């Protein structure tokens, strides 16, 4: 039993610790043993914390004794926080990100910092300054990005849960690629304080877990207003979720560019929910084809502004240390903000962003939630798209719309391709209605067992 404690869900671990079936030290030992077994194969972590002797847990709380991983773009006090970039290789913050502090205040303990695309710029975790993370299901494939290390660590049972960030799909896509569960919260539901900003009007910290239930436990702790982040809000009281929901299937999410195996698995998942009494209807999100173009104008523009602080004087070392994808996005954003191009690109994209948001708001007048694939493809090969940034960007085509609109999204496992590659199901709901996602997600995971399957490493 002690050797398999790392395989427990967060809920199981918390209940076991409370009932004294095992100790936090035994849980820690099991997790560290697993990290030692698999890290050489997948490289989920850029930093392991207190590997041999965990600090004494002083704070009481519902997560006391639970170990979690933190994406390297979230600041951790006295723990190296590099954003997986060489320019911040030796940066150790003197403060903690609010979402991290809320968890440690409830007794949870950081097991390590997870690898990601440098500054979260990427969709494969190949853009890390310290090397790529590999997919636990097939180490020749990417784990997704930019929260690839966080998703891989959960999939490989190297932690009970992890924190990631989602700017254009960076929690949902790696959760899909690694067959784990990931939540992108409503923008503003979780504080961004302590997050090394990528795009300030898009970034959303959120949980990656082994089950929907685990993600809900974490979200209920990290959500809410933070006086240190003006964009955060008081989260409204949960509403009762009605029994039978109307689920919209956007025709644009099942069209050209989405691989047939992905379409089939997601369609089968939708039919499972239909059998449970939910009603499926076809809908349209007509500006879906424009979303990726809008995203890659607005986000690099915000990146250009946010990255100006890394001048080698206030923050970071020599700017020549920036990784190639970081340089690419800074240059693209700087170009779109230049005089003469600002109106042509940035302002036009901002207007189209409102059209994309209106698509979702109009859809939610007819349906309770939206269902579709997370990614148009299963995990792709390491090195396959690294020299084709435009094709790489298209891997976000089904996820960026939720970030443009600011709505919540949930990725849950819904099956495997013929060659055993994971596929994820994406659920989207109106602003501040995460309870709908959790409710339908729990129903789905009570019926299916894809989330229980483990990779063979």
Here the CATH number for the domain that contains residue 257 is 3.90.1300.10
User: Tell me, what's the pLDDT at 411?
Assistant: 98
- Is residue 49 pLDDT above 90, yes or no? yes
User: Tell me, what's the pLDDT at 61?
Assistant: 86
- Is residue 59 pLDDT above 80, yes or no? no
Does residue 247 belong to any structural domain of this protein? Answer: yes
- Is residue 403 pLDDT above 60, yes or no? yes
Q: Annotated active-site positions, please?
A: 71, 146, 170
Lowest mean pLDDT among 20-24, 220-224, 325-329: 325-329
- Is residue 205 pLDDT above 60, yes or no? yes
- Is residue 1 pLDDT above 60, yes or no? no
- Is residue 424 pLDDT above 80, yes or no? yes
Does residue 52 belong to any structural domain of this protein? Answer: yes
Q: How far apart are CA 328 and CA 346, in angstroms?
A: 17
> In the chain, what percentage of residues exceed pLDDT 70?
96
User: Tell me, what's the pLDDT at 335?
Assistant: 79
User: Tell me, what's the pLDDT at 56?
Assistant: 58
**Cβ(83)–Cβ(309) below 8 Å:** no
What's the average model confidence in pLDDT over 250-261? Answer: 95
- Is residue 413 pLDDT above 80, yes or no? yes
Does residue 136 belong to any structural domain of this protein? Answer: yes
pLDDT digits (tens, 9 = 90+) for 311-362: 766 666 666 678 788 888 888 878 787 877 777 889 999 999 999 999 999 9
What's the average model confidence in pLDDT over 420-425? Answer: 98
Top-confidence residue, 94 or 311: 94
User: Tell me, what's the pLDDT at 443?
Assistant: 98
Q: How far apart are CA 237 and CA 235, in angstroms?
A: 7
pLDDT digits (tens, 9 = 90+) for 66-89: 999 999 999 999 999 999 999 999
Does residue 417 belong to any structural domain of this protein? Answer: yes
Q: Name residues whose C-beta falls within 8 Å of residue 425's C-beta, 6 or more positions apart in sequence.
A: 265, 266, 269, 371, 372, 373, 374, 411, 412, 413, 414, 444
Specify burial of residue 351 (Cβ count, 10 A radius: 0-12, 13-18, 19+). Answer: exposed
Average pLDDT, the chain: 94
Top-confidence residue, 117 or 305: 117
What's the average model confidence in pLDDT over 270-284? Answer: 98
What's the average model confidence in pLDDT over 168-174? Answer: 98
Does residue 457 belong to any structural domain of this protein? Answer: no
Which long-range contacts link 271-274 to residues 24+ away (Cβ below 8 Å)?
A: 272/444, 272/447, 272/448, 273/247, 273/371, 273/440, 273/443, 273/444, 274/247
Top-confidence residue, 416 or 329: 416
- Is residue 54 pLDDT above 70, yes or no? no
Lowest mean pLDDT among 18-27, 52-61, 98-107, 424-433: 52-61
User: Tell me, what's the pLDDT at 315?
Assistant: 62
User: Tell me, what's the pLDDT at 317?
Assistant: 62
User: Tell me, what's the pLDDT at 319?
Assistant: 65
Lowest mean pLDDT among 47-61, 163-177, 197-211, 236-250: 47-61
- Is residue 457 pLDDT above 70, yes or no? yes
Of 225, 210, 232, 213, nearest to 69 (Cα)?
Answer: 210
What's the average model confidence in pLDDT over 194-199? Answer: 93
User: Tell me, what's the pLDDT at 75?
Assistant: 98
- Is residue 182 pLDDT above 70, yes or no? yes
For residue 399, give its domain range: 2-452
**Cβ(372)–Cβ(401) below 8 Å:** no
The total domain count for the chain is 1
């Amino acid at each position: 039993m002690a050797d398999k404690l790392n395989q427990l869900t967060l809920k199981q671990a918390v209940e076991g610790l409370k009932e004294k079936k095992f100790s936090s030290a035994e849980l820690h030992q099991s997790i560290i043993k697993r990290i030692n077994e698999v890290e050489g194969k997948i490289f989920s972590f850029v930093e392991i914390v207190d590997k041999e002797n965990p600090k004494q847990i002083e704070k009481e709380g519902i997560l006391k004794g639970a170990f979690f991983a933190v994406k390297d773009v979230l600041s951790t006090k006295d723990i190296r926080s590099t954003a997986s970039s060489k320019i911040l290789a030796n940066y150790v913050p003197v403060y903690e990100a609010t979402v991290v502090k809320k968890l440690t205040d409830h007794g949870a303990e950081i097991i390590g910092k997870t690898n990601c695309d440098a500054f979260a710029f990427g969709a494969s975790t190949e853009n890390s300054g310290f090397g790529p993370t590999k997919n636990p299901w097939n180490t020749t494939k990417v784990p997704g990005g930019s929260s690839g290390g966080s998703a891989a660590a959960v999939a490989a049972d190297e932690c009970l849960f992890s924190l990631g960030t989602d700017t254009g799909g960076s929690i949902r896509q790696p959760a899909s690629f690694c067959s784990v569960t990931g939540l992108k919260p409503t923008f503003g539901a979780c504080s961004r304080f302590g997050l090394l900003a990528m795009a300030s009007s898009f970034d959303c910290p959120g949980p990656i877990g082994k089950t929907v239930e685990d993600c809900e436990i974490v979200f209920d702790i990290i959500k809410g207003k933070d006086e240190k982040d003006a964009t955060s809000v008081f989260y409204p009281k949960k509403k009762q979720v009605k029994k039978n929901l109307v689920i919209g299937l956007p025709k644009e999410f099942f069209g050209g560019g989405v691989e047939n195996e992905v379409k089939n698995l997601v369609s089968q998942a939708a039919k499972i929910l239909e059998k449970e009494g939910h009603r499926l209807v076809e809908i349209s999100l007509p500006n879906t084809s424009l979303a990726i173009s809008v995203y890659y104008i607005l986000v690099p523009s915000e990146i250009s502004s946010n990255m100006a602080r890394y001048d080698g004087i206030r923050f970071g070392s020599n700017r020549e240390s920036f990784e190639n994808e970081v340089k690419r996005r800074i240059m693209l954003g700087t170009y779109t903000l230049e005089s003469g191009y600002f109106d042509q690109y940035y302002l036009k994209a901002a207007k189209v962003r409102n059209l994309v948001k209106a698509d979702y708001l109009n859809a939610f007048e007819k349906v309770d939630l939206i269902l579709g694939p997370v990614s148009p493809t299963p995990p792709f090969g390491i090195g396959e798209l690294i020299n084709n940034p435009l094709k790489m960007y298209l891997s976000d085509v089904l996820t960026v719309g939720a970030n443009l609109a600011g709505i919540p999204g949930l990725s849950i496992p819904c099956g495997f391709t013929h060659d055993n590659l994971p596929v994820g199901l994406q659920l989207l709901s109106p602003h501040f209605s995460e309870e709908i996602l959790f409710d339908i997600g729990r129903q789905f995971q009570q019926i299916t067992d894809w989330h229980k399957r483990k990779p063979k490493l």
